Amino acid sequence: MDLYARIPNNVNLNEDKRLRRALEKWLPNYLDWWREMGPDGFQEKEVYLRTAVSVEADGWAHFDYVKMPDYRWGIFLKPAEKDAKVGFGDNYGMPVYQEVPGEFRNALRRIVVTQADTEPASVEQQRQLGKTCPSLYDLRNLFQVNVEEGRHLWAMVYLLHGYFGRDGREEADELLQRRSGNPDKPRILQAFNQPCDDWLNFFAFTMFTDRDGKYQLSALAESGFEPLARTCQFMLTEEAHHLMVGETGVGRVVQRTAQLMKEANSDDIRELGGIPLSIIQKYINYWLSYSLDLFGGEISSNSADFFAAGLKGRFKEQEKYEDHFAREGFFTIPVIQDGKIIEREVPLRNALNEVLRGEYIADCERAMKRWNKTLEDVNTQLYLPNRRFHRHVGEYSGHFFDIEGNIITETEFESRKDKWLPTTEDREFVQSLMTPVTEPGKIAGWIAPPQSGIKGKPFEFEYVRL
């Protein structure tokens, strides 16, 4: 592992002069983008960050104070397995591909570009949050997430430059030109164009949207295109922290809300400076529905083609499945016909987006159970909306459903949507609570402190030297 090269890497960049030159040309543009679109302010502050120093499962991370622009962005792939074989699809058991299979070049480039695009997009969405952090611990976690998303962009740009020639280089340039929420040059997937401008949004985003990242990366980590698989495998080790930030972040807001509800003996805790459960529920509905869109259509020939070609597998393909061909079998998907929900049998390979979405929902339900434990004392529960609710992609887009997934008319949806999705007033109320707390050991009144700090340090530790 070459940690001290201009572009730290474990892919022998030193020996591949063409690739190194191309990436070194991209590097200053990346830094320009980071300065323009990365966290606003704080660039000269020392942050207690984790940095990759190895790619081994244990001991890959080193913790120390770093200024964000000096973070070790680089290219780290999990070590190759000897004699690795394609793990699923029509080429099951054949040696893994070291180059992009010709007939799938465009499709694979699109997957890599789509994955890549989400990384800078999320940094852009979160750009202003540092100014309203609830504690130094949370501020540090925000920046950790941001620099790692930056590194994930590097991971994908390495693939584009290394394996897709000239159009890969052009795509890499465009990744620095699109902007989250900009109508003229938006990010590719809609969840990444939504504003994420308060900390409840941030926690819901890292809970639900980053979790889509976990499932997409897991499916790509199974890929028979070995450089993609090894890249995603290492990204996943970093991703776990982002999910912890989201799940415990929402959990800590719920915990504080429950505490204030008990104190006030009422659901309305606005006057005490807490976020009512009804607003937390609406943020869950909003981010879950946008994140469900990220899995693509329920019935998808793309997903079937990718699986057949051995390029995109299922979650834990090797661990959980015995039949890696998935040629047989059907999956039942509720679809809309003549204004009614009916069930359609779909060949399994065409339903793999939906299969992955199901795994994801089960994982969200697990977190929901944890949050609900905190609410037992106040006799209320949070829930996940039905997967058909508020969808913009796939079978359910263009139709209207209530929170339980029953089909309703557009007029009915419009008249009830303020009960289900955050209103302008809800957002303004949450925004009104977002005053920064930056004294070590102190925390904002709308969120509970974490159960433990980072890397054995206490909550009171000075995670960012302001």
Contacts to ligand BYC by CB under 6 A: 111, 114-115, 118-119, 122, 149, 189-190, 209-210, 212-213, 216, 293-297, 300, 302-303, 353, 393
Shorter beta-carbon distance to ligand BYC: residue 106 or 415 = 106
Shortest separation between residue 94's beta carbon and ligand BYC, angstroms: 22
Those residues with Cβ within 8 angstroms of residue 379's Cβ, 6 or more apart along the chain or in another chain: none
| Residue 78, helix vs strand vs coil | coil
Shorter beta-carbon distance to ligand BYC: residue 87 or 296 = 296
Handedness of CA 185, 188, 192, 195 (dihedral sign): positive
Shorter beta-carbon distance to ligand BYC: residue 74 or 213 = 213
Shortest separation between residue 261's beta carbon and ligand BYC, angstroms: 31
Query: DSSP for 18-62?
Result: HHHHHHHHHHHHHHHHHHHHS-SS-TTSEEEEEEES--SSSS-EE
Burial grade of 166 (CB within 10 A; 0-12, 13-18, 19 or more): exposed
As a whole number of angstroms, the distance between CA 136 and CA 461 comes to 8
Shortest separation between residue 334's beta carbon and ligand BYC, angstroms: 16
Shorter beta-carbon distance to ligand BYC: residue 235 or 454 = 235
Shorter beta-carbon distance to ligand BYC: residue 276 or 313 = 313
As a whole number of angstroms, the distance between CA 328 and CA 350 comes to 11
Name the nearest CA neighbour of 144 among 52, 26, 259.
52
Buried b (16+ CB within 10 A) or exposed e, 398-428: ebbbbbeeeeeeeeebeeebeebbbeeebbe
Shortest separation between residue 226's beta carbon and ligand BYC, angstroms: 18
Shorter beta-carbon distance to ligand BYC: residue 111 or 250 = 111
- Report how far Cα 306 is from the mean position of its chain's Cα atoms: 21
Shortest separation between residue 385's beta carbon and ligand BYC, angstroms: 17
Shortest separation between residue 223's beta carbon and ligand BYC, angstroms: 11
Shortest separation between residue 374's beta carbon and ligand BYC, angstroms: 25
Q: Are 98 and 227 in contact (CB under 8 A)?
A: yes
Shortest separation between residue 264's beta carbon and ligand BYC, angstroms: 35
The beta strands (E) that lie in 324-454 are given as 330-337, 340-347, 400-401, 407-408
Burial grade of 322 (CB within 10 A; 0-12, 13-18, 19 or more): exposed
Shorter beta-carbon distance to ligand BYC: residue 178 or 256 = 178
Shorter beta-carbon distance to ligand BYC: residue 13 or 108 = 108
